[in-house]
Structure 1
């Protein structure tokens, strides 16, 4: 038996794999096809933090953390034969599925990228769910990182998973309706529905971890050696807002707040995101959930303006000249939306938030100051631009 981590070359997948491997003697099988590196390159950007090859990373993990239980499989999960081979050879007791095209802006560029995103993300999840069923792995705990974006931006507090519907005097708990705002977010809405169906039909234990905006450059494991660093994207297409703002601060570029910036978004530190996935993956078989459970992987909501102002305040510690500027919003959204999202179940899982946003920003800037040249060389990618036919 083993634990499989898909998307293990990625920003979240790599540190999650390290945390899991450090907590078990089971073989931890890292799976990836390196598509994230190609997507970011295709929009003319790169990781601000240099990252090694997967072989170099695994070698460093064994040397630094004495992790001899890591192995790697290069596979495209949209190919059913590759998934069948993966499951038949490794027979996982747990699958942590973090592999996806994760960018809403990338999925919105044109029809080709929208189609690619939907095919890539949905096909991979369906292949894994059906593969577990057809390989008689119905006890395998399937954990997927979807997104809090499946909820959209309703004007009421967002529950952790379902909703209560009332009609003609009768009440029942129902899945929260898909209110996604991009072709990417819709893939995760469909994944959530497919996982619910797989649990119902195949009796698979499912943990749907709805991931917020993750910020941070390192975890306890990756900070031990530069060779263990995880990637850090800062461009418009793949850099989340907090990361893009921090990179802009380093480059002396105005932080680009879209519209009023008063809309609140859900955030979580990388350390807290990794810890929750590891807790689920390493739960003992007899205490492992045998149901379909939804977790809102978030610790707090923060307005975009507060994100920018916090980064500006912390930037003073690094003698950075930072300005906050408001630009016309290229996205269709309520710029004053005061999001509230329940996350008690996830809080219980990780024992509460370990890293404040200000602490996270301080760590990010402390890392990025050493990579200013890599950021300034690509500062033209901070804002959306016209991509060439080659991009």
Structure 2
């Protein structure tokens, strides 16, 4: 038996595969087709951290951590024949599905990118679900990283799982409404519905891990050697807001908060995200649920202005003179919205938060100051329009 990690060349996938292999004697198979590297290059951006080849990564894992149970298979998950062969050969007891086109802005560029994103993401998930069912692997635990973005930004607390709906004196638990705001986020909304159906029709044990905004550059395993580093995107299309703010700080630009910036967003550190996925993958058959379970993979909400102020404060440790400025908000949004999201199930899974936002920012700035040339040479990829005028 084995564990498959799809998207294992990616930001979350690589450190997750590395941790699972380091903690287990089982064979861990990374699956990827290196599309993320191509998508980022296509928008004129780059990873701040140099990304080693997969061969160099595997060699470093053996040399540094003694990991000899990690291997790589190149392939496209939208190809049903490839997925069937992958599952038949390796007969995984768990699949951590972290492969997707992950950028909302990228999916919004035009109709071609929207169509590609929806086909790529949903076809891969359907192929895995049907592949497990039709290749007689009904006990394989399918763990997918969807996104908290499927929820939108409602004005009431978000449960970890279904919501109770009442009508004419009757009530039932129903899937939480999908109010996604991009063509990318809708792929994860559809994935969530397809995963629910796959459990009901095929009996597959499903963990729908709705991942918040992930920040950070390091995990316990990647710190040991530069060849083990994961990618770090800081551009408008693939870099999350915390990463773009950190890039602005390193490049000597003020952190521009739109409007009041008091709205809170859900966040989780890379370290905590990797820990949750690893624990789910390594949970043995007797202990894992045989159901369809939703986890809100978030440790805490953070306001945009609070995030900027934390980056400015930590920046002092790196001799960065970081200014936080407020500019007119070009977006139609509630600048004071307070996101509330239940996460009891996820926190029970990981035990406790392993890295707070301040610690994650410290990691980011330590990394980015080492690779500041990559930041400054691509500053046109992350500066907001207000600074370019």
TM-score bucket (shorter structure) = over 0.9
Q: Superposition pairs for residues 249-264 of structure 1, below 5 Å?
A: 249-264=249-264
Q: Superposition pairs for residues 88-167 of structure 1, below 5 Å?
A: 88-167=88-167
How far did residue 176 of structure 1 move?
Answer: 0.2
Moved more, 365-374 or 251-260: 251-260
1:184-236 CA-to-partner distances (Å, cap 9, x unmatched) read 00000000000000000000000000000111100000001110000000001
Match of 1:194 in 2: 194
- Structure 1 segments unaligned to the other structure (5+ residues): 386-391
How far did residue 331 of structure 1 move?
Answer: 4.5
Kindly indicate whether residue 359 of structure 2 is the aligned counterpart of residue 359 of structure 1: yes
Give the whole-Å Cα distance in 2 for the aligned partners of 1:355 and 1:384. Answer: 28
Q: Does the C-alpha gap of structure 1 residues 100 and 332 become closer, same or farther in structure 2, counting only changes over 3 Å?
A: farther
Corresponding residue SS for 1:309: helix
How far did residue 182 of structure 1 move?
Answer: 0.6
Alignment RMSD: 1.1
Give the whole-Å Cα distance in 2 for the aligned partners of 1:333 and 1:143. Answer: 33
- Structure 2 segments unaligned to the other structure (5+ residues): none
1:256-295 CA-to-partner distances (Å, cap 9, x unmatched) read 3233311100001111100000000000111121000000
1:81-119 CA-to-partner distances (Å, cap 9, x unmatched) read 111111111111100000000001111111111111101
Give the whole-Å Cα distance in 2 for the aligned partners of 1:141 and 1:363. Answer: 33
Kindly indicate whether residue 312 of structure 2 is the aligned counterpart of residue 347 of structure 1: no
Match of 2:81 in 1: 81
1:294-313 CA-to-partner distances (Å, cap 9, x unmatched) read 00000000011111011011
Give the whole-Å Cα distance in 2 for the aligned partners of 1:122 and 1:63. Answer: 37
**Number of equivalent positions:** 385
Give the whole-Å Cα distance in 2 for the aligned partners of 1:371 and 1:63. Answer: 24
Q: Does the C-alpha gap of structure 1 residues 330 and 192 become closer, same or farther in structure 2, counting only changes over 3 Å?
A: farther
Match of 1:333 in 2: 333
Query: Do the aligned residues in 1 keep the contact of 2:248 with 2:383 (CA within 8 Å)?
Result: no
Give the whole-Å Cα distance in 1 for the aligned partners of 2:151 and 2:339. Answer: 11
1:154-180 CA-to-partner distances (Å, cap 9, x unmatched) read 111110021111111111111001100
1:105-149 CA-to-partner distances (Å, cap 9, x unmatched) read 111111111111101100000000000000000000000000000
Match of 1:11 in 2: 11
Give the whole-Å Cα distance in 1 for the aligned partners of 2:8 and 2:146. Answer: 16
Give the whole-Å Cα distance in 2 for the aligned partners of 1:259 and 1:123. Answer: 39
Query: Do the aligned residues in 2 keep the contact of 1:237 with 1:384 (CA within 8 Å)?
Result: no
Give the whole-Å Cα distance in 1 for the aligned partners of 2:140 and 2:330. Answer: 42
Moved more, 62-71 or 333-342: 333-342
Corresponding residue SS for 1:320: coil
Match of 2:215 in 1: 215
